[in-house]
Structures are given as C-alpha cells and as structure tokens.
Amino acid sequence: MMILAAAVFATSAVAYAQSPTATEQTSPTAQAGQAPAAAIPLDQQPTKEQLAKLFDVMRIREQMQSMRQIVPSMVQQQIKSAMQQTEANLPAGTRLTPEQRDAMQKVMSKYVGKAMDLYPPDEMLADMTTIYQQHLSKDDVDGLITFYSSPAGQHLLNAQPVIAKEYMPMVMGKVTERSQVMTKEMMKEMGEIVPAAKQGAAKQGTAKPTTN
C-alpha cells in the first residue's frame, strides 16, 4: 500500500511543486508574510486558454511524463523490501521459491503501473485549472507566463527533472523507513491492549459475587 501511495504522490508532486502555493512568491500580488488571499472575483479570473498557455510554458505535462518514467525505477527498492517483509512473515521454515519471488515482483510492478494511472495527467491539469482560477488573477497568470518564459524561468524548468530525480528517492526512502518504524510501534501498542483486555476479562470472570 505504501509503495502504491508513493507512486501516486511522486507523480502528482510535480503539479504541487508548481502550484499557486509554491509559485505565489512570483505572483505580482503576493506579499511576504501576507495572509492567504480571498478567492479571485469571476471577472478577474484567468481563462482556461490562458492557463493552458501557462501550463505549456511551465512544461507541466512534460514534467509529469518525466516523473512517470522515474518512479518505476525508484520503487524497485521498495518492492524488494516489501518482498523481504512478506517472506519474513511466512510461517517458520517456509521460504519463497525463485519462481514465487519472480511472480510476486511482477504482481507488485503491475500494480505500481496501475497506480501511475490513478490520477491521469489530463484530470490533474483540469483540477489545477479550477484551483488556479480561484487563486490567481489574469494579471498573476500573465506575470507567471512572463517569468517562466524568461531565462531564469527556463533555467528553473530545465533543472526540475534533475532536482526531482535526486529529491524524490530521498523522500520515498525516508517516508518508507520512518513509516515502517512507526507501524511497528503502533502494532506493539495495539498488541499490548489485547492482553490487557483479556486479563481484565479474566479478573471479572473470577471475581467472587458479593453477598448481602
């Protein structure tokens, strides 16, 4: 489950990285320390065509496709760890055969591929369009188009794939490692509840009835 969630997160991360929250410092109306702005009035909202131009200049679809190529290789280590955990949970003396390991890896890889399609790029861009219209004005979008068309904006976009390739494995690795530790702690505490409940029930069952 964690592997599939990580795959979806990695694919959608590029959209958030260039969302209004992430880019608001480049917005003409943004102010340092300013509280979140109210929704943009309808007559000031950018058109879908204007936002489509912005997304094109920002290379968002291209970045999404790049992430779809990076993620499968990133999750291979997580798949290997999941297989090792599955084998460790088998009854004592039971081991997976090479054929079973191969079959399990194919199943996991298949579902990672399916996870990549849970939130298709077209749907993601449509959702982004609606959100951008609520929080960015026409002037904001024009300013962002100007920025991303500039040498500095193009340099940022050129660096994005390299940054993502280095950063996403770090994120997935830390999240996976720390979530495993947290899951073990949670299961330990839950395991302590069950014996305590049984002990309490046993005491109630052996308690002597009071006489008047």
82 in any annotated domain: yes
DSSP code for 31: -
What is the residue range of 163's domain? 2-21+41-204
Q: What is the pTM of this model?
A: 0.59
Rounded CA separation 189/194 (Å)? 9
Rounded CA separation 108/117 (Å)? 15
Rounded CA separation 174/4 (Å)? 16
36 in any annotated domain: no
Rounded CA separation 12/124 (Å)? 8
pLDDT score for 181: 82
Q: How many domains does the chain have?
A: 1
pLDDT score for 111: 77
88 in any annotated domain: yes
Rounded CA separation 103/123 (Å)? 32
Amino acid at 77: Q
pLDDT score for 159: 92
DSSP code for 119: S
30 in any annotated domain: no
Binned average pLDDT, 10 residues per bin, the chain of 212 residues: 53 54 46 63 94 94 78 68 73 78 80 78 91 94 96 93 83 80 82 67 59 56
**75 and 81 in contact (C-beta within 8 Å)?**
no
